[in-house]
Structure 1
Amino acid sequence: MAPIQFGILAVAYQVVDAAGPTDLLASASKSALLTIRDYVPIGDDLISRAPEFEFHHIGVTKDPVDLGTSQMTIVPTTTVDECPELDILLVGGPYLGTFDLHPKHADLIRRHVAAGKLLFTTCTGASLVASTGALDGRMATVNNIEYEWVRKRWPKVNWTREKKWIIDGNIWTGSGAIAATDMVAHWLKENYGLDVLIQAAATLDYEPRDSDGLFNVFPQRFDSKGEKLSTHIFRYHEE
């Protein structure tokens, strides 16, 4: 199976907006699970179902991009003009008051959505997509702190904050950086199985929440005293 071509828009996003979802996906990859198998038992069937990803950090140029937090700078791996055909595009969120989306990035978003390709947004990344018109008539969510601001600025979008993430066709919007990581965990579970998600999450000591923000994704397991056991520990030691 060919690797999934996964693009991340290289803008001044908050670091965890991209690092959270992509680290989870990388941890679910076939190559990562083969490495982890040196330390914990992982069956051949699980590994055979695991995806593989190629990540592309897409700049307008290949000049370094200062991210919005952690005093971190990244160097894009490709440009809008040179980027390979993408399967998935992730748009992270910058601080909106000081950021304008470059026309080439805006055009990439519009073309990707129009082609029916999967788009993930994290935090205020939904605002960037809204600014392109690609969210007009769609239901979406955004960082709750800026919810009223974006609702007034882009009124053609059906904004909601009833859920931690919203799925409207090929556009998945997460309300914040961690909620969007939970959203990507849901996508991983739906497409590759709960056991693949559990194994990937275990490497990060991470338990995702559902779209209501509740820890109902993993099976609940208890010891003889009725105390909840870690799903990760159960997964590693059940054999």
Structure 2
Amino acid sequence: MAPLTFGALVYNYQAIDVMGPTDLLNSSSRELLNALKVYAPIDESTLSRAPDFVFHHIGLTNEPVALLSSHVTIVPTTTVDECPELDFLLLGGPNPEHFQLHPKYAEFIRRHVAAGKPLFTTCTGAFVAALAGVLDGKNATINHIEFEWIKKRFPQVKWTLEKQWVVDGNLWTGSGAVAGMDMMAHWIKENFGLDVLTAGALGLDFEPRDVDGLLTVLLKRYNAIGKQISTHVYKYYNEY
């Protein structure tokens, strides 16, 4: 399987909106799971279905960009003019009050969606997608704190509060930052299997919630695998 290319536009988003989902993807990759075999029993069939990823952080230029939170500055790996072909695009959430979408970014988003490729948004990343016009007439959600505000700003979008994330065709919109990680966990499970997600999430000690915000996704598998790992680690360190 060829590596899947994930891109994230670089602007002043909240750090976890992009770093959380991409870290989960990376932890579920074949490369990371293969490394984790030292510490945990990971079946070969799980490894065979785990994907490989290439990540691109896409700026207007290659100049560093200060993010919205955590005093993090990110250096783009490519630009909108030079970006390789993407399979998936992720939009983190900026502060809507002070954000203006650059026309090059808007066109980049529209072109990606028009090609039928999946677009993921986390938190107010849905605001960015709405500014680009790709959510018009679509079902979507956003950080629930901004719900009433976003309904008035973009009445042409079918906003909902009922779920932690919403899928409408190739558009995946998540609520708050951690709901974006939950959404990505669901995508991993649906595309590569629950065992791939479990192994990847286990490396982060992450228990994803379901679309209703409930902790029902991995709990039983964690309990079973935890016993296997304890035995595996004990044997490994006693042998060496």
TM-score, length-normalised on structure 1?
0.94
**1:18 matched to which residue of 2?**
18
Q: In proportion to residue count, which structure has more helix?
A: 2
Moved more, 35-44 or 118-127: 35-44
Question: Moved runs in structure 1, 4+ residues, more than 6 A?
Answer: none
Deviation of 1:219 (Å): 5.0
Residue 220 (structure 1) shift: 2.9
Secondary structure in structure 2 of the residue aligned to 1:204: coil
Mapped partners of 1:139, 1:78: distance in 2: 31
2: CA distance, partners of 1:93 / 1:182: 16
Gapped regions of structure 2 (runs ≥ 5): 233-240
Equivalent-residue separation in structure 1 for 2:225 and 2:24 (angstroms): 14
Shift, 1:214, TM fit: 0.3
> Matched residues in 1 for 2:145 and 2:2: separation?
39
Could you tell me how far 1:236 is from its partner in structure 2? Answer: 2.8
Tell me how large the CA RMSD over aligned residues is.
1.4
Q: Kindly tell me: are residues 220 and 41 of structure 1, through their superposed partners in 2, closer, same or farther at Cα, counting changes over 3 Å? A: closer
Would the aligned equivalents of 2:41 and 2:228 in 1 still touch at CA under 8 Å? Answer: no
Q: Any unmatched runs of 5+ in structure 1?
A: 222-228
Distance 1:219 1:205, change over 3 A: closer
* Structure 1 match to 2:92: 92
TM-fit CA distance, 1:237: 4.8
SS at match of 2:172: strand
Q: Per the alignment, do residues 17 and 176 of structure 1 end up closer, same or farther by CA in structure 2, a change over 3 Å counting?
A: same
Total equivalences in the alignment: 232
**Which one has more relative contact order, counting CA pairs under 8 Å at least 6 apart?**
2
Match in the other structure for 1:32: 32
TM-score (norm 2): 0.93
Q: Kindly tell me: are residues 234 and 73 of structure 1, through their superposed partners in 2, closer, same or farther at Cα, counting changes over 3 Å? A: same
Shift of 1:238: 7.8
Alignment identity in percent?
58
